[in-house]
Amino acid sequence: MRMRVGVLLGVVVALVLLVASAQAGTKRPAVTNVTLAGWSSGPDEDTLLQQVVNTFNSTHPSIHATLSIINGDYPTAMTARFAAHTPPDVFYVDSSVAGSWVKQGVLEPLNSFIKASKFNTKAFFPKLLGAFTVGKTIYGFPKDWSPLAMEINKGMLGKAGGKAPKTWAQLQQVAQTMASNNVVPGGKPICLSADWARMLAFIYQNKGSLSTLTSPASIAAVNFYVGLMNKGLAATPDKLGSGWCGEALGKQKAAIIFEGNWLLPFMKSTYPGVQYGIFPMIKNKTGGNLAFTVSYSMAKDSSNKQAAWTLLSWLTGRAGQKLWVSKGLALPSRSDVKAIGGRQAFLSAAPYARGWGFANPFFANAYTVMGNDLNAVIAGSKSVASMMSDVSSALKGG
């Protein structure tokens, strides 16, 4: 009897030990789930981003990052999630909304994480990092950037003398030649967006600025911009049957446009037959350009902050960024990552590029005023001076 109990006990103990050792042997580390959210400007980007996330997951077995692409209305979607206290852990923040999101308190300050893991922030271009910094607190790292450049249809440029313009005067001249020789049948030589996110570059080129909008220099720049349309040398994309100037270039309804790096994958997939050259942005009194950048930031309400930090710092670290810019969909925001070839025209803008919408908490509202007023100016129902004063007060929160 006792022996049987003893044997039984022994078997049980053995079994327990066996199971325990088996567990120990195959014990998996706990996996933390982290969510990553962003938008994409095209299906190519979707695929690439997923690839980047997959690479992260395979190199970080204790963290599993899930990607969700939010198209349609990213800010609204994110607002809903912030209010619900269920935001994604890591997500895109466009520089134009960074100011107001910081003000609303939905972004996690990163300084303590930076210090703890001794992350090197010096590699980021200071102007770009500055878009996501308020005072001394850093709220995100720029994941990439793009300025504007000038893209011209090669065939049409050839018919107009073959030399790309470098100044305002030359731009007008080339456009005039194109118009006189009907080089762009059914369209206009230049496509100009009714968008301050393009026109502001021209203001900077004339030595104007957002804080001196009512100055003669700024007003003259707008007059030049709108003047090109009034002279019949340029038109807004909707008048060229397009949603944006890139489409106009593709449809060959415009010869000269001003767009950023995002144009390249679009043209490649949608209008592969159109030959165009990329040239540096024109200048006038000085160089002027806009830097569009987006950060990876962490949510204040994230429940996995440490894992989120690992993801965030990898994505914007050397390895992650190298992978991201390898397809040429964007330019690196770090000085220790090289851009792929053929991007010289964009990179030469770096010294002149000023941030788009940086750090201003009233920017979202001001942008609506900008757009609506510019449309009115182009239609001739509003004066430039009136628009400038509207925008100035909107930027101050008025």
Partner 1 sequence: MTLEAAAAAEPFIPGRARSDVARKAILYGLIVCVALLFFVPFLWTLVTSFKTIPDSINVHLVPHPWTTSAWRAMWTQYDFKLYIKNSFFLAVVITLANIVLGGLGGYAFARLKFPGREVLFLIVLGTLMVPDQLRFIPIFVMLTNWHLIGNFSGYILINLVTATNLFFMRQYFLTIPKDFEEAAKLDGAGYLKTFWRVMLPLALPAISALVILQFQGTWNDFVWPLILFGQGNTAHYTVQLGLASLNFQYTTLWPQICAGSIIAILPILAIFLAFQRYFVSGVVSAGVKG
Partner 2 sequence: MNAISDSVRAPVRSSMRGVKVREALWGYGFAGLPMAVFGIFFIYPLGYAVYISFFHWGILGHQPGAAGTYNYAKVLHDPVFHTALKNIGEYTLGVVPLEMTLGLSLALLINQKIRGRNFIRSAFYFPSIASSVAITTIALYILNSDGLFNRIIGSHTPWFTTASTATWAIVGLNAWTTSGTIMLYYLAGLQAISNDVYEAAALDNTGAWRTFWRITFPLLRPAHFFVLVVFGVGALKLFDQSYIVSGGSGGPNYATYTPVLYIYREAFSNFDFGVAAAAGIVYFVIIFVLTVVQRLTVGRPEAA
Residue numbers at the binding site for partner 1 (CB under 8 A): 37, 39-43, 68-73, 76-78, 80-81, 83-86, 88, 243-244, 246-247, 251, 262-263, 266, 269-273
> Of the candidates 53, 63, 102, 106, which one interacts with partner 2 according to CB under 8 A?
106
Q: Is 189 strand, coil or helix? A: strand
Near partner 2 by CB under 8 A, which window of 16-24, 143-151, 171-179, 234-242?
234-242
Size of the site for partner 2 (CB under 8 A): 29
Q: Which CB atom, from 323 or from 376, has the smaller least distance to partner 2?
A: 376
Stretch that binds partner 2, among 114-122, 167-175, 239-247, 313-321 (CB under 8 A): 239-247
The yes or no reply on residue 354 touching partner 2 (CB under 8 A) is no
- The dihedral through the CA atoms of 371, 227, 193, 221 has a sign that is negative
Query: Two tokens at 267?
Result: 């043209």
Buried b / exposed e over 13-25, threshold 16 CB at 10 Å, is: eeeeeeeeeeeee
In terms of DSSP bridges, do strands 137-138 and 133-134 run parallel, antiparallel, or are they unpaired?
Answer: antiparallel
Q: How far is the CB of 243 from partner 2 (least distance, A)?
A: 9
Residues contacting residue 101 through CB under 8 Å, at least 6 positions apart: 93, 107, 139, 297
Stretch that binds partner 2, among 100-108, 121-129, 255-263, 350-358 (CB under 8 A): 100-108
Site string for partner 2, 379-398 (x = CB under 8 A): x-xx----------------
Nearest to 150 by CA among 115, 198, 105, 195: 198
What are the residues facing 354 on neighbouring strands? 290
Give which of 141, 241, 133 is closest to 186, Cα–Cα: 241
Least Å distance, CB 229 to partner 2, is 14
Does residue 372 touch partner 2 according to CB under 8 A?
Answer: yes
Name the packing angle between helices 363-379 and 216-230 (round to 10°): 50
Residues 6+ apart with CB under 8 A from 194: 236, 371, 374, 375, 378
For partner 2, the closer CB: 106 or 337: 106
Contacting range for partner 2; rule: CB under 8 A; set: 42-50, 129-137, 198-206, 371-379? 371-379
Query: Cβ closer to partner 1: 86 or 120?
Result: 86
Contacts of 92 (CB under 8 A, 6+ apart): 37, 38, 39, 74, 143, 294, 295, 296, 297
Q: Which of 51, 214, 215, 375 binds partner 2 (CB under 8 A)?
A: 375
Smallest distance from partner 1 to CB 318, Å: 27
3-class secondary-structure state, position 86: coil
* Interaction partner, residue 104 (partner 1, partner 2, none; CB < 5-8 Å by kind): partner 2
Residue of 35, 100, 133, 205 interacting with partner 2 (CB under 8 A): 100
Q: Which listed range, 63-71, 121-129, 137-145, 233-241, lies at the site for partner 2 (CB under 8 A)?
A: 233-241
Whether the Cβ atoms of residue 171 and residue 165 lie closer than 8 Å to each other:
yes
- CA–CA dist 1, 79 (Å, integer): 71
The answer to whether the CB of 325 falls within 8 A of the CB of 144 is yes
Q: CB-wise, 71 or 120, nearer to partner 2?
A: 71
Report which of 43, 64, 62, 124 is spatially closest to residue 295, judged by C-alpha positions: 124
Quick note: the x/- pattern for partner 2 over 45-84, rule CB under 8 A, is: ----------------------------x-xx--xx-xx-
Nearer to partner 1, 213 or 263 (CB): 263
Beta-sheet strands, E only, within the chain = 32-38, 63-69, 90-94, 133-134, 137-138, 141-146, 148-153, 188-191, 234-235, 254-260, 276-279, 289-298, 353-355
Does 312 contact partner 2 by CB under 8 A?
no
Interface residues with partner 2 (CB under 8 A) are 73, 75-76, 79-80, 82-83, 100, 104-106, 186, 194, 236, 238-241, 364-365, 368, 371-373, 375-376, 379, 381-382
